[in-house]
Amino acid sequence: MPSAHLQTYAQRAQKHANPAAKALLETIERKKSNLCVSVDVTKQADFLRIIDVVGPYICLVKTHIDIIEDFDPSLIDRLRELSEKHDFLIFEDRKFADIGNTVALQYSSGVYKIASWSHITNAHPVPGPGIISGLASVGRPLGRGLLLLAEMSSKGNLATGAYTAEAVHMARTHRDFVVGFIAMRRMESVPTPDASVVDEDEDFLVLTPGVGLDVKGDAMGQQYRTPREVVFESGCDVIIVGRGIYGKGSDAEVQAQAERYRKEGWAAYEDRIST
Ligand code: 5BU
């Protein structure tokens, strides 16, 4: 069997055991979109308006729900309605980073009750495998999926080398709940500390932030690559775009940018699987 990134999203969806990963792959195929839009705005009304505009072009919305200043629980109902209207999944970019008991509470409870609405979330591997057990105790019964931060897009980040390899190892030993990585490239070839956990058929999704067509970075260390570099050259599965789309002003311009990134990401994927 060829490596996961040389198979189609549809082929991968058929084989994926995790419900959230399977649904994401099916949505990507159905909408011909490997675009995730990150909607990092502070007002409910802007958040919902942008999602309604970009909805037809995306497979996934990425949220930082704690950025919203006027949050109230009805926002989640509106977000759910938009996810049904436009057929996309939801990824709360929570970056959990504590011991298992604490993250289980942060994931299930508090103001946001993330596990109740977010199909996918993510975690730093820094606390060790207990973070996965804690999150899995809440998310697995709900059919959720977890991404580990194996790499980051920002300049000077510490998620490199042995740290990345340990993240991949943790994922390989928790395949029932860890469905992939935040990373800048495919992780299959990363040597894991214990080779016995490698499965030739492994299929971890790679979701990649730091994507932009017009600028190379920002003033605070963000670094951008193009959809082609990310999907075709580096073999990643989903491009995550924030300001390159929602930061463009009028609804018409935001819509045009969403379609532009969708097209670029999809063409890069089609070229990848036909090589
Ligand atoms: P941007 O506006 O396209 O730069 O936004 C990128 C988003 O992805 C933003 O929400 C970040 O929090 C998120 N992100 C990132 O940029 N780089 C990373 O390594 C990780 C997340 Br993990």
- Cβ atoms of 149 and 124 within 8 Å: the answer is yes
- Cβ atoms of 96 and 124 within 8 Å: the answer is yes
The answer for residues whose C-beta is within 8 angstroms of residue 111's C-beta and 6 or more apart is 71
| Predicted confidence band of residue 194 (pLDDT cuts 50, 70, 90) | confident
Query: What's the whole-number average pLDDT of the chain?
Result: 96
> Going by CA atoms, what residue is nearest to atom 11 of ligand 1?
209
The alpha carbon torsion through 57, 62, 63, 64 (nearest 10 deg) reads -140
CATH architecture of 4-270: Alpha-Beta Barrel (3.20)
Residue 15 marked ligand-binding: no
Instruction: Give yes or no for residue 221 having a pLDDT over 90.
Output: yes
Residue 161 marked ligand-binding: no
The answer for residues whose C-beta is within 8 angstroms of residue 78's C-beta and 6 or more apart is 44, 48
> Going by CA atoms, what residue is nearest to atom 1 of ligand 1?
242
| pLDDT score, position 3 | 87
User: Which pTM value belongs to this model?
Assistant: 0.98
Instruction: Give yes or no for residue 201 having a pLDDT over 90.
Output: no
| Predicted confidence band of residue 275 (pLDDT cuts 50, 70, 90) | confident
Amino acid in the structure at residue 118:
S
Instruction: Give yes or no for residue 120 having a pLDDT over 90.
Output: yes
| Predicted confidence band of residue 196 (pLDDT cuts 50, 70, 90) | confident
Nearest ligand 1 atom to alpha carbon 95:
22
| pLDDT score, position 101 | 98
- Cβ atoms of 108 and 79 within 8 Å: the answer is no
Residue 44 marked ligand-binding: no
| Predicted confidence band of residue 51 (pLDDT cuts 50, 70, 90) | very high
Residue ranges covered by each domain of the chain: 4-270
261-267 mean pLDDT? 98
In the reported structure, the alpha carbon of residue 21 is separated from the centroid of ligand 1 by a whole-number distance in angstroms of 20
| Predicted confidence band of residue 85 (pLDDT cuts 50, 70, 90) | very high
The residue to mutate among 36, 37, 38, having the most atoms of ligand 1 within 8 angstroms of its beta carbon, is 38
In the reported structure, the alpha carbon of residue 41 is separated from the centroid of ligand 1 by a whole-number distance in angstroms of 13
Kindly list the protein residues whose Cβ atom lies closer than 6 A to any atom of ligand 1: 38, 40, 64, 93, 149, 152-154, 182, 209-210, 222, 240-244
Q: From residue 13, give the alpha-carbon distance in Å to each of 140, 173, 200.
A: 18, 21, 17
| pLDDT score, position 238 | 98
